[in-house]
Amino acid sequence: MAGEAADQKEKVCVTGAGGFTASWVVNLLLSRDYVVHGTVRQPGDIKYAHLNKLEKASVNLKLFKADLLDYDSLRLAIEGCSGVFHVASPVPNSLNDSDPEEFLEPAIKGTLNVLKACKKAKVKRVVVVSSIAAVVMNPEWPKDQVKDETCWSVPEYIKTTKKWYYLSKTEAEREALEFGKRNGLEVVTVCPSIILGPILQSTLNSSSSLIVATIIGGLESLGCNYWTFVDVRDLADALLLAYNKPEAAGERYLCNSHSIGIRDVVEKYLRPTYPDYKYPKNLTYAEEEVQHLSSEKLQKLGWTFRPVEETLNDSIESYRKAGIVG
């Protein structure tokens, strides 16, 4: 009987299911009674144990061994699904000086493999997680004008900066939207800013390390002193909205909730609650770090977001629980 009930529920696939963002997407989908196919590198690996502990996972979650560069493995995971959330993407340890192919091939070819598998499986909609990396590297954009969905990073300019992650996200997103138009596949892209919030997994992901670096001490200043960020739980909500709203078909959405300097992060929100951490001494940011981003289009779909302090406090408490910070 349980099998019959599962067959009647909507089935969706989440790529890179064990990652920071994707874990929260899986969690949200399970809570809304979707059956979820999650792609991971090695289903039995202990680093995916947190997924099996999610509510309803024992009934509604199935993990598939898949690789973005292996079309057949993706096809098997996506088969029978009415929708796909493509979250998996290579994430840098640093944003430059890396081998460009480390990012470009998995991001671009991997995205195209997912989309080809979606077309084959006749899924109704694909939501692709892009990044503001595909938005902000545009030297031609007027300096004081708010960046919205019409702003794209310029590949030729990115190449001069050697920020290959930015290039990979820009090229992959463009390819995704164009593939959708050419093939009659509903593709929606969502471009989040830095993704913060509590972790479900036991290890620290690269964006969360920004908060950890702010509180552990030993740093005069951070590499990023002006934060544009979104809570991972709010991003998961945005992705589900992009999946379910008919008017989102073929659209692009920026997803940013807060833009804030490091001084305010520390003095307004962190130090009053956590006075004993060793914060950076340099709490200023350079003018060129400032980004003005609009999520108005996403808010018109019905998206809302949490306050700053909730994201920061919940993040730190989750790192404490995981033993990452004291």
The distance between the two most distant Cα atoms of the chain, rounded to a whole number of Å, is: 61
Write the DSSP assignment of 188-211 as a string of letters: EEEEE-EEES--SSSS--TTTHHH
| Structure-block tokens of residue 324 | 């990452």
| Structure-block tokens of residue 178 | 């164009």
Distance of CA 323 to the CA centre of its chain: 24
Distance of CA 181 to the CA centre of its chain: 23
Buried residues in 176-205 as b, exposed as e (16+ CB within 10 A):
bbebbeeeebbbbbbbbbbbbbbbbbeebe
Angle between helices 20-31 and 232-244 (to 10 degrees): 60
DSSP H helices in 9-161: 20-31, 49-52, 57-60, 71-78, 100-104, 110-121, 155-161
User: Which has the closest alpha carbon to 205: 13, 8, 24, 6?
Assistant: 24
One-letter amino acid for residue 221 of the chain: S
One-letter amino acid for residue 165 of the chain: Y
Which residue out of 56, 159, 169, 181 is catalytically annotated?
169
CA distance 141 to 18: 36
CA distance 246 to 257: 23
Active site residue 169: yes
Active site residues: 169
